């Protein structure tokens, strides 16, 4: 097949990582893959066989850009267009309509945003959701006519070799306003309490974003107060696997939780909106279908974060052992090889039906 993947941003984030790995895996399986998106750091991770086209999708210029996309589709005899993120999905659906090409959209986040435009819903042939909860909500709100399917994000399987520092906590995310609020609470309210009990404790924050420098100032202030480098804001890293391997505990949801748990790292399912506690066998079957977000959990606060982290450190050996056992199941359920096969199955069904 000739496949065109469209995404607006191609820098740092769960959707961006997923699209990069999907493109590479499709290419390895012998398909001709074109990828369109705004140039970012993911480009360096693409295999040479993937044809990347730098294309900055813009709401104002979208009518002209859709014409250009349609020319690309026709010139390269594209069999299927797969859109990601709001503008990528809208552009894919319009180009597909003009060229009579089948269109798939993956909803990575909120349906009301990714499928905001009615045309994105009307002109798309099939929808992939990475979370069952989001899929159910979308089906209740929009008439998707049975055209939606659940395919979770995947992870490239890496060796589980670990050399964890006993008191290193790692958090990886885009440093935007919601994440900044959570991390500011961790630095200013949570860490000062925990450091009195665990003097060797370190928080390592990886990720880029508009508030990274401001967060770094808060971290440096804490380091001066305790006269030790207890908090480090390190920015974007192309390969985060070594940081997972040195962490005793990872804080995160979505792709971060998936990657870390596949490497046998204990994971606390926490984001700026949800405090879901530790990833364990008891909650695995539930959260694995909601993109590793505990959707019924309350917002995190200072007291709950301190309590959960203290519980973890008091049972660290047990948590490490359970994380190792859980990693085997995570790797079985979410290998990118398996996720690519599921996606290809949807592709083939759609193309064969004409």
- Residue bearing the bigger pLDDT, 112 or 307: 307
- Give the pLDDT score at 109: 77
- 313 SS3 class: helix
Under the banding of pLDDT at 50, 70 and 90, the label for residue 344 is very high
Predicted confidence (pLDDT) per residue in 266-293, tens digit: 999 999 999 999 999 999 999 998 999 9
**Higher pLDDT among residues 89 and 131, named by residue:** 89
pLDDT of res. 146: 76
- The reply to whether domains 2-154+335-352 and 168-334 share a CATH topology is yes
What pTM, to 2 d.p., does this model score? Answer: 0.85
| CB neighbour list of residue 143: distance below 8 Å, 6 or more residues apart | none
Kindly report the backbone phi and psi dihedral angles of residue 321, in degrees, each rounded to the nearest multiple of 5, phi listed first: -65, -45
pLDDT confidence band for 198 (50 / 70 / 90):
very high
Please give the average per-residue pLDDT across 101-109, as a whole number.
Answer: 93
C-alpha to C-alpha distance for 105 and 117, rounded to whole angstroms: 13
Banded model confidence at residue 190, pLDDT cuts 50, 70, 90: very high
Helices (H) and strands (E) in the chain, counts: 15, 13
**326 Cβ contact list (under 8 Å, min separation 6):** 261, 264, 279, 280, 281, 284
Summarize the confidence of residues 299-319 as an average pLDDT: 96
**Tens of pLDDT, residues 137-174:** 888 788 776 799 999 999 888 877 788 999 999 999 88
Phi-psi region for residue 85, left (φ > 0), alpha (ψ -120 to 50) or beta? Answer: left
What average pLDDT does range 241-262 have in this prediction? 94
Q: What is the pLDDT of residue 145?
A: 67
| pLDDT given for residue 331 in this prediction | 94
CATH topology of domain 2-154+335-352: Rossmann fold (3.40.50)
Q: What is the pLDDT of residues 20-71, one digit of tens each?
A: 999 999 999 999 999 999 988 889 899 999 999 999 999 999 999 999 999 9
Contacts of 130 (CB under 8 A, 6+ apart): 18, 106, 107, 108, 150, 151, 152, 153, 291
Q: Is the pLDDT of residue 126 over 90?
A: yes
> How far, in Å, are 82, 195, 236, 302 from residue 268 at the CA level?
32, 19, 21, 15
Residue 161: its pLDDT value, please?
A: 79
pLDDT digits (tens, 9 = 90+) for 204-230: 999 888 999 999 999 999 999 999 999
Q: What are the domain boundaries of the chain?
A: 2-154+335-352, 168-334
Cα angle 46, 91, 354 (rounded to 5 degrees) comes to: 90
Which fold is adopted by the domain 168-334? Answer: Rossmann fold (3.40.50)
Determine what percent of the chain is predicted with pLDDT higher than 70.
99
**42 SS3 class:** helix
Q: Would you state the structure tokens that stand for residue 198, as one six-digit string? A: 């665990």
| CA 28 to mean position of chain CA atoms | 22
């Amino acid at each position: 097949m000739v496949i065109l993947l469209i995404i607006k941003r191609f820098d740092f984030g769960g959707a961006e990582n997923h699209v990069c790995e999907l493109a590479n895996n499709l290419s390895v399986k012998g398909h001709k893959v074109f990828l369109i998106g705004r140039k970012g750091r993911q480009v360096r991770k693409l295999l040479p066989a993937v044809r990347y086209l730098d294309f900055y999708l813009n709401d104002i210029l979208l009518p002209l850009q859709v014409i250009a996309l349609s020319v690309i589709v026709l010139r390269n005899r594209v069999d299927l267009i797969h859109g990601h993120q709001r503008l990528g999905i809208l552009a894919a659906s319009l180009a597909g309509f003009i060229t009579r090409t089948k269109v798939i959209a993956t909803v990575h986040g909120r349906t009301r945003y990714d499928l905001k435009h009615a045309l994105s819903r009307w002109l798309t042939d099939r929808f992939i959701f990475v979370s069952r909860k989001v899929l159910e909500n979308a089906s209740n709100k929009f008439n998707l006519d049975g055209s939606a399917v659940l395919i979770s994000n995947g992870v490239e399987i890496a060796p589980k070799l670990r050399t964890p520092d006993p008191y290193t906590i790692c958090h990886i995310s885009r440093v935007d306003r919601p994440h900044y609020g959570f991390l500011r609470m961790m630095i200013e309210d949570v860490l000062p309490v925990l450091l009195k009990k665990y003097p060797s404790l370190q928080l390592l924050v990886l990720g880029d974003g508009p508030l990274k420098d401001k967060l770094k100032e808060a971290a440096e202030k804490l380091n001066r107060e305790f006269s030790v480098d207890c908090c480090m804001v390190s920015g974007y890293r192309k390969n985060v696997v070594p940081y997972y391997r040195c962490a005793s505990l990872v804080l995160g949801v979505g792709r971060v939780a998936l990657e870390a748990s596949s490497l046998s790292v204990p994971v606390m399912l926490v984001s700026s909106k949800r405090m879901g506690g530790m990833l364990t066998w008891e909650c695995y079957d539930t959260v694995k279908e909601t993109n590793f977000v505990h959707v019924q959990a309350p917002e995190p606060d200072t007291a709950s974060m301190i309590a959960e982290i203290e519980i973890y450190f008091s049972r660290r050996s047990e948590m490490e052992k359970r994380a190792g056992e859980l990693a085997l199941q995570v790797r079985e359920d979410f290998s990118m090889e398996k996720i690519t096969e599921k996606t290809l199955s949807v592709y083939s069904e759609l193309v064969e039906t004409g």
